[in-house]
Structure 1
Amino acid sequence: MKNLYLIRHCAADGQHSDSPLTNEGIRQAYLLSAFFTEQNMNIDKIISSPYLRAIESIKPYAEQNNIEVNVDDRLTERILSEDPIDDWIDVLEHSFTDLDFNLPGGESSNDAVKRATSVIENIHSDDNATNVILVSHGNLIALLLNQYEPSFGFEAWKNLRNPDVYLINIDDSKHSIECLWGG
């Protein structure tokens, strides 16, 4: 059995890869640390997007528990396009219904899922990883959750919070999803 804790990063000051957490985001990171500590989850491994806001979101917990944060490029946020998009919400919604849709320089939903699920496949083959935290970004997390719960789509993405925590419990061919974060 594997327990995957998907964390959407805390509130950040922008969308660039080096955007830091806001003051509120820093407070949220400490709340996340307290949450995981209170739950006594015995985390084996932490894997994070290389984006600063993702790493900073789990850093207080990792430092408190002396757990290394493994950075994995496969958990970066999905790029919709290399060019600015005026109607990006409409484009994003379309990408949830047409999973192969992509704009020039962008990544389709299927392509993003493929790279992110390869992280999960690595966890499956790691006998020393039972309780794993994955820290990433809203769009990628929504696409991953959709793999386990097909009704988790665009509308569910819109309801994700910063931060948010979802548990995917995988036991052989069975799985369950649960939102753990109450804010």
Structure 2
Amino acid sequence: MPHITLTTDEPGIRGLFRFRPETARPLNELVEVLLRRESTLTPGERELIAAYVSALNACRYCYSSHAAYAAAQLPGGMELVEQVRDDLQAAPVSAKLKALLVIAAAVQRSGREVSEQDVAAARAEGATDLEIHDTVLIAAAFCMYNRYVDGLATIAPDDPASYAARAKRIVSDGYLGLLAESQRDS
């Protein structure tokens, strides 16, 4: 049961966006830039970073959402996402992505946890300054999104199919496309 009276039964952050729509646009613009705009990291890899941080924060709604979005865009699908969540070092992802996920995990604990060694390891695996920057910002942003969703005790569906259905729409329309649609429906 959410801590505040929401105006919809939409789960997670979507219900919060309906409650306070003026915050929806800037938060969706940020996630659109970080996870979908042009980058040397694929949208699936960036969604995986968001899912990984959300798993570390034990945010069920955000993990389930972004795991589904990553799975829809990565060749290994949900199996790969779960392997990364369960054992990063054994997961079949590139050494560069592993190094970036180590940085994301450090950010999740505290921004000050990111060490020169973490950054040097990522660079040694071919990570660029932009990729390191974006990994830190994705991790920091998802710590905020996770705390927003969980701090207001939003609803998180149990059915993985609900997240998978939304993943198809995120992949095709992006975050801003779905935002525009939901605002028309209001």
Query: Could you tell me the TM-score, scaled by structure 2's length?
Result: 0.28
Query: Could you tell me the TM-score, scaled by structure 1's length?
Result: 0.28
